[in-house]
Amino acid sequence: MGLTNLLRGNRIYLDSNIWIYALENVPEYSSLLVALFELAENGSLTIITSELTLSEVLVRPMALLHK
């Protein structure tokens, strides 16, 4: 079953854990996330998130920056 068969509608909310998996290239999820982001890139899907997600995703980069 392909990714598009699992999705209902054309908008999907991604919480911080998904962004972290994508940014850290977690192997178990990378092929699924690439497919998800390709759907968004070609306009088949709209990805939404929140400001809270941005602050959670930036914790590690900010910590590394201030080491």
Q: Hey, which residues does 13 pair with through a beta bridge?
A: 48
Q: Is the dihedral of CA 33, 29, 62, 11 positive or negative?
A: positive
What is the count of structural domains for the chain?
Answer: 1
The residue behind tokens 């991604």 is 14
Could you tell me the two tokens for 29? 């999820």
- What pTM value is reported for the model? 0.76
> How far is C-alpha 4 from the geometric centre of its chain's CA atoms?
16
Domain that residue 20 falls in: 3-65
Q: How far apart are the first and last CA of the chain?
A: 44
Could you tell me the two tokens for 65? 């920056």
28-59, pLDDT tens digit by residue? 999 999 999 999 999 989 999 999 998 998 88
